[in-house]
């Protein structure tokens, strides 16, 4: 088992690192709204690509013919890459990294297991130290859709989602229920973590509405899978071109 290339002894929930991909779009949206980079009325026309200003470099959308006119909600419903390319460009890597750090990316979750990795929330300093190269504007663009140099563990993605669901309240994931001391059960106590900034409640609701649309509105990317579901559900698709092997696509 130690030599198995599929590394069955690795706890992928806490040690596997992967591009978080489109799962981060709701957090990027909330952050951009809170930072004043966009408003709920911001629109963008998507022809199927986004071009870096001052460059011939084009970043493609997953939908090659484009999504047409987009706002924040529709961008989430259809997981439109181009909208978030623009958001990433306008925010810049410094603000983007700072805000995503508030959602737990680049940090240990605090789960009560020893085997955990922190993933990587890229910064200018990280790239300079890692590659001895400066950060370029083009590096920022894929970060807006959870790719590029950004990696995360599944438990980090879960924690970030719980932060969104709870309107910015941060909960530490844990397995321990209690300990025994002198024959008495001592319950585990949730450590205090500060909430994610002073964010308008409407921004949380806007992101949740977009995720609801993913599964429940005809244009939603997961609508065909949940159209007849007998329960309420909100979703965000996860697909990354950065997976290293076919077996990893079964995560």
Provide the annotated active-site residues. Answer: 22
Max CA distance (Å), the chain:
70
Q: What are phi and psi of 184, to 5 degrees?
A: -115, 145
Measured distance CA(19)–CA(6) in Å, rounded: 19
Closest CA to 176 of 233, 231, 110, 229: 110
Residue 169 burial (CB count, 10 A):
12
- Cβ contacts of 130-136, under 8 Å, gap ≥ 24: 135/93
């Amino acid at each position: 088992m130690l030599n198995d290339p599929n590394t069955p002894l690795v706890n992928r929930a806490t040690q596997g690192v992967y591009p978080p991909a489109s799962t981060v779009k709701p957090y990027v949206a909330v952050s951009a709204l809170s930072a004043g980079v966009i408003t709920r009325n911001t629109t963008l026309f998507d022809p199927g690509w986004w071009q870096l200003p001052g460059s011939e470099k084009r970043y493609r959308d997953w939908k090659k013919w484009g999504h047409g006119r987009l706002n924040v909600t529709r961008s989430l419903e259809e997981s439109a890459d181009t909208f978030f390319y623009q958001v990433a460009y306008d925010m810049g890597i410094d603000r983007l990294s700072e805000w995503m750090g508030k959602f737990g990316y680049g940090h240990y979750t605090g789960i009560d297991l020893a085997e955990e990795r922190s993933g990587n929330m890229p910064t200018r300093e990280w790239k300079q130290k890692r590659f001895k190269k400066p950060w370029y504007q083009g590096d920022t663009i894929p970060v807006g859709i959870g790719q590029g140099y950004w990696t995360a563990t599944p438990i980090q993605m879960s924690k970030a989602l719980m932060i969104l669901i709870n309107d910015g309240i941060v909960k530490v994931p844990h397995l321990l229920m209690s300990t025994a001391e002198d024959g008495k059960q001592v319950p585990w106590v949730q450590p205090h973590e500060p909430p994610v900034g002073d964010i308008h409640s409407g921004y949380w609701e806007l992101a949740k509405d977009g995720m609801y649309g993913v599964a429940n509105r005809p244009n939603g990317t997961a609508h065909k899978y949940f159209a007849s579901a007998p329960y309420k559900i909100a979703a965000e698709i996860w697909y990354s071109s950065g997976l290293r092997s076919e077996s990893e696509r079964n995560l």
